[in-house]
Amino acid sequence: MNEEFTDLLDKHNLKKTSPRLSVLSILKSRDVATSQPELEQIIGKEVDRVTLYRTLTTFEEKGIIHKVLDLNGTSNYALSSSTISNNQLHDEHVHFNCTVCLNVYCLDQLHIPKLSMPQGFSSQNVNVIVYGICYSCNKKAEEFLKKKDNA
């Protein structure tokens, strides 16, 4: 078992189960947010759908992961920045939806400023989603155009 993950589960008073450790390992290994169907494919028959759903719900409630919707309205999950850095703050950052490859990226370096809410309103969560073309897709388009121009 990965010591980082077991410590994280201990910190949140969660049992160290194989499904929980698998989900943490997968999410940490990916550069993009991952949907539950994708997680089901990656994990295979090791974890059933209900257990995966409960694991994701528990992790989200504890602030270990956060959820962001993709262009199709599907929930995608990524480790919270505070989880990775062991920071207690649940920072809010910009998310990026690529309109070409449909990947969802956490742009942890782009923080959302604190909003001053009107009297009588209180925010619980702030989410900013930017839609566009990611670095990888832009790079592929540039390469394609270079090949086309050289032909």
Q: Which residues contact 129 (CB under 8 A, 6 or more apart)?
A: 68, 69, 94, 95, 96, 97
Q: What are the tens digits of pLDDT across the range 101-146? A: 999 999 988 988 888 999 999 988 888 999 999 999 999 988 888 8
Q: Which pLDDT does position 16 carry in this prediction? A: 94
Tell me the C-alpha distance between 123 and 15, whole Å: 31
Tell me the C-alpha distance between 81 and 126, whole Å: 15
Q: What are the tens digits of pLDDT across the range 39-97? A: 999 998 888 999 999 999 999 999 999 999 999 999 999 998 766 555 444 568 999 99
pTM of the model: 0.80
Instruction: List domains and CATH numbers for the chain.
Output: 3-150 (1.10.10.10)
Instruction: Express as a percent the part of the chain with pLDDT over 90.
Output: 65
